Amino acid sequence: MSVITYAEAIKQAMCEEMRRDENVFFMGEDIGTYCGAFGVSRGMLEEFGESRVIDTPISETAYVGAGVGAAVTGMRPIVELMFSDFVAVCYDQIINQAAKMHFMFAGKVSVPMVIRTAAGGGTGAAAQHSQSLEQMYCHVPGLKVVAPSTPYDAKGLLKTAIRDNNCVIFLEQKKLYRTKGEVPEEEYTIPLGVADVKREGTNVSLITYGRCVQMCLEVAEKLAAEGIDAEVLDLRTLSPLDRDAIIRTAKKTGHVVIVHESVGFGGFGGEIAGVIADSEAFYYLDAPIKRVGALFCPIPFNPELESYVLPNTGRIEEAVRAVMKEEIR
């Protein structure tokens, strides 16, 4: 094991896959000489050259569309959107082309393409560079959606995503890039659609993904001192979704708090709650399900207001305490 940052884990996954398969290439804005907005691709241009690490024009419509075309003709592009908010510029290419071509051509073509993008807030980047839009991707059949929380998961899931024959949206929350964790030096992959219990518990289930995993673990450790034993389930992949893991943890504890950074209203947490409500786990619940998400508001630039709008450990702890006190009548 070596201890590396989340950003380095992403880079390692890309480099290893580019060495393994000559059809894999990387393109996006400022990823070459500048090494990307978050320094993820440092050194890649020097190793792979301009033909495989391609600096694109500032036109997401153009280069995401080029990625779709390359994928259809047998390449495996990794396309970087500098910020996930910029999906609005190339939504047609992703939603109406990449997600649907395999279906519309009766399986005769595939779109083996990964769209990596920096998501989420917490960095003072304001309303147009801080959104969490995963629920928009998850609503579209034909897209796979991944949101890793640790360097280990980020590397293993990205390698799997690059080898997948479908378009995969790979969400990297910006606050995670400098976090560190253990990553094996030998080859490994992690299958899509398999959640991971980051902390075993018996009293309440915290179901989450992305950087909210760290918040939930912090809350769980604090509450453990008071005798509240919280289980933290990291979904890791949102589509395909590990429904069995969700049902299993809900049945185990009987109390559920769902946590995500995207806006609570219409957020992915509603789908998680629906999985529980539509299963036998519903009859094991001892209290109503609670959700913690961002407030229904554009992300403010002011750090105090941004912190107020986004989920935090205080709001998660409050939700856990509430769900532990409230019984279904």
Check residue 123 and report its DSSP letter: S
Mean pLDDT of 187-197: 98
Please state the pTM of the whole predicted model: 0.96
3-state SS assignment for residue 259: strand
129 assigned to active site:
yes
CA-CA distance, 76 to 27, in Å (whole number)? 11
CA-CA distance, 226 to 229, in Å (whole number)? 9
pLDDT of 329 above 60: no
Angle ∠(77,31,8) on CA atoms, nearest 5:
85
Mean pLDDT of 4-8: 97
Which residue out of 129, 139, 255, 260 is catalytically annotated?
Answer: 129
pLDDT tens sequence across 248-293: 999 999 999 999 999 999 999 999 999 999 999 999 999 999 999 9
Q: What sign for the dihedral angle of Cα 163, 241, 135, 155? A: negative
- Name which of 82-86, 179-183, 208-212, 324-328 the model is least confident about: 324-328
Q: Hey, where are the domains in the chain? A: 2-183, 196-325
Mean pLDDT of 137-154: 98
Q: Where are the alpha helices (DSSP H) in 120-203?
A: 134-138, 151-163
CA-CA distance, 79 to 27, in Å (whole number)? 5
Q: Does domain 196-325 have CATH number 3.40.50.920?
A: yes
pLDDT tens sequence across 80-115: 999 999 999 999 999 999 999 999 999 999 999 999
* pLDDT for residue 229: 97
Sorted by sequence, the CB contacts under 8 Å of residue 91 that are 6+ apart come out as: none
At position 137, the amino acid (one-letter code) is Y
For the domain with range 2-183, which CATH number is right: 3.10.290.10, 3.90.180.10, 3.40.50.970, 3.40.50.300?
A: 3.40.50.970
Whether 2-183 and 196-325 share one fold: the answer is yes
Two tokens, residue 95: 């939603």
